[in-house]
Amino acid sequence: MTDKLDLLSKEELKDLIRIYAKNIYALDGVWFQSVEEKSDMEEAMWHDKNAWVKFTRTEAKRIKNFLNLPDEAGLEGLEKALAIRFSALSNPSVSIFREGDSLIYRINECRVQSARKAKGMPFHPCAPVGFIEHDGFARVIDGRIVTEMISCYPEVTDQGCACCWKFTLKHSAPD
């Protein structure tokens, strides 16, 4: 029997991947809002943090294996991995670029915050969970990578994006 994915064109497969990436955000939002509604934001954030610790490692390991990256993939490996992770594929606008010796990952327009705004809900205070997500992902790609939050709600320092993360490779001190 033919695999149903073999029947899809390359463009259809790309569209399907983007749909699945959006579905991950939708599932994340649905369970989060369920806990938020039943309990409160604090309880929902506690579960969110725990979920992202585990999910992020799984996502990063699978992408690292898919790209056949070495154990210490550096910023080059991180750049490749970030470009195909679900958040890069599902958010309307994402930028990944070099700035000096660092790699910058900007979510210019965030699907989660846009959805909450459209529903009349307060913004998700994603800075703590965002750090867990981005730092955990980077450390699986290369344990030497240091993550810094540049801007993320509610600690917004850059009005031109939803969130911004800086990754730098920590070099070991010479003997």
Residue-wise pLDDT for 89-135, tens only, equals 999 999 999 999 999 999 999 998 898 899 998 898 999 999 999 99
pLDDT in tens, 17-56: 999 999 988 898 899 889 988 998 899 889 999 999 999 9
Q: What is the pLDDT of residue 6?
A: 87
Residue 59 pLDDT exceeds 80: yes
SS (H, E, C) the chain: CCCHHHHCCHHHHHHHHHHHHHHHHHHHHHHHHHHHHHCCHHHHHHHHHHHHHHHHHHHHHHHHHHHCCCCCCHHHHHHHHHHHCHHHHHCCEEEEEEECCEEEEEEEECHHHHHHHHCCCCCCCCHHHHHHHHHHHHHHHCCCEEEEEEEECCECCCCCCCEEEEEEECCCCCC
What residue ranges do the domains of the chain occupy? 10-169
Q: What is the pLDDT of residue 108?
A: 95
pLDDT in tens, 75-88: 999 999 999 999 99
Is 3.30.1380 the CATH classification of the domain at 10-169?
yes
Q: What is the pLDDT of residue 173?
A: 57
